[in-house]
């Protein structure tokens, strides 16, 4: 036993002597650099996403001015909804569609107190809220399972306004009479009016999901294409039936799903980095003027440890962001500081 310990001590002393001589000779040990917080094209390529080379498609670089939030920054509002899907905020309340029990729930955005709002909506990925007064609202709900647009009014009796849609996913109001609805199953966008009349206005898309608009432009996500992750088109051209091709807004994203044009003027969207759900944003005007932004020009707002897709996304005027993943009951929130 004494012989073994002796030899170990000798070997340790020899090792220290060699290390000291090496350091004195000018050799230093350099630690491995931490990975960038903003993944570029090469990091997405390892996930199997097909993207264009940034050398082939030059873009203006956008600085990351916001320190990305992480899972530890998220606060759990509630876990009372079994399988939340579509979600929208209005006047201090969240309205959340549950695909597990075909129920719309109303949730206080501060206390998390939850109550049943209406039964009968089977599977909605997006909801549009129409404020009639401080307390009265209509909810317009594309139901993916029944291929219909439903209205939940003050009587809280769901009505099918339009049928024959093709896997309706996103909804955005054009004016007081017309909605734009993205049909993920039909690879198109259609207008639907309050009389239930459907008119397909844009075709040949790639599983369109989230949709949003401002006064002049329509933005929509192609969930089935990394190359065409988010595209845009002039609203007037779309409504007038002009045969125009959508222009790229953001490319190089995997499984883009939810989309919100927030009060700060940025377009927020959910997508996947590998198996993780992420929220990013761009200035749509900057991306339009530069013929599209690539994935390395996105400001990443939130890295989560939640499984993609992040099925629900809504943002208040005060920039409180609410999000949840698919098939999990927890609804999270975080304050976005600009």
pTM (predicted TM-score): 0.81
**pLDDT value at position 29?**
26
Length of the chain: 338
End-to-end CA, the chain: 66
How many CA within 13 A on the CB side of residue 92? 6
- pLDDT, one tens digit per residue, over 74-86 is 999 999 999 999 9
**pLDDT value at position 337?**
85
Strand 128-131, strand 299-307: pairing: unpaired
Q: Which helix (H) or strand (E) holds 321?
A: strand 320-324
DSSP annotation string for 13-63: HHHHHHHHHHHHTT--PPPPPPPPSS--HHHHHTTT-----TTTS------
Q: What is the mean pLDDT of residues 239-264?
A: 94
> What's the gap between Cα 251 and its chain centre?
14
Q: What are phi and psi of 37, to 5 degrees?
A: -75, -20
Q: What is the DSSP letter of 245?
A: P
177 contact partners, CB below 8 Å, separation of at least 6: 193, 194
For 22-50, b/e burial (b = at least 16 CB within 10 A) is: eeeeeeeeeeeeeeeebbebebbeeeebe
Domain over 41-335 is classified CATH 2.120.10.30: yes
- pLDDT, one tens digit per residue, over 149-206 is 999 998 888 999 999 999 999 999 999 999 999 999 999 999 999 999 999 999 999 9
Q: Which helix (H) or strand (E) holds 75?
A: strand 75-78
pLDDT greater than 70 at residue 9:
no
Distances (CA, A) of 7 to 15, 18, 173: 12, 17, 80
- pLDDT, one tens digit per residue, over 11-68 is 544 444 444 443 343 333 222 222 222 333 223 333 333 333 333 333 334 446 678 9
């Amino acid at each position: 036993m004494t012989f073994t310990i002796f030899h170990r001590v000798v070997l340790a002393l020899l090792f220290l002597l060699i290390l000291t001589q090496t350091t004195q000779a000018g050799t230093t040990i350099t630690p491995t650099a931490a990975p960038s917080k903003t993944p570029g094209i090469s990091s997405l390529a390892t996930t199997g996403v097909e993207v264009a080379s940034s050398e082939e498609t030059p873009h203006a670089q956008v600085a990351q001015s916001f320190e990305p939030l992480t899972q530890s920054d998220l606060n759990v509002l509630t876990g009372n909804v079994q399988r939340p899907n579509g979600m929208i905020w209005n006047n201090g309340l969240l309205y959340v569609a549950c695909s597990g029990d075909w129920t719309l729930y109303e949730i206080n955005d501060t206390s998390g107190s939850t109550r049943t709002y209406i039964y009968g909506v089977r599977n909605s990925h997006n909801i549009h809220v129409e404020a009639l007064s401080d307390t009265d609202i209509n909810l317009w709900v594309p139901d993916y399972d029944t291929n219909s647009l439903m209205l939940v009014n003050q009587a809280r009796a769901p009505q099918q306004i339009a049928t024959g849609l093709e896997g309706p996913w996103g909804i955005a109001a054009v004016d007081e009479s017309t909605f734009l609805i993205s049909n993920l199953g039909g690879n198109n966008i259609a207008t639907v009016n309050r009389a239930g009349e459907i008119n397909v206005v844009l075709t040949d898309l790639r599983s369109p999901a989230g949709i949003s608009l401002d006064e002049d432009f329509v933005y929509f996500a192609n969930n089935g294409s990394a190359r065409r992750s988010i595209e845009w088109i002039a609203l007037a051209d779309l409504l007038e039936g002009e045969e125009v091709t959508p222009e790229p807004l953001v490319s190089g994203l995997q499984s883009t799903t939810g989309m919100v044009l927030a009060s700060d003027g940025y377009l927020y969207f959910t997508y996947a980095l590998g198996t993780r759900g992420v929220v990013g944003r761009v200035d749509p005007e900057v991306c339009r003027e530069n013929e599209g932004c690539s994935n390395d020009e996105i400001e990443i707002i939130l890295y989560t440890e939640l499984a993609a897709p992040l099925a629900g996304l809504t943002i208040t005027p005060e920039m409180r962001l609410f999000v949840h993943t698919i098939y999990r009951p927890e609804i999270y929130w975080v304050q976005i500081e600009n």
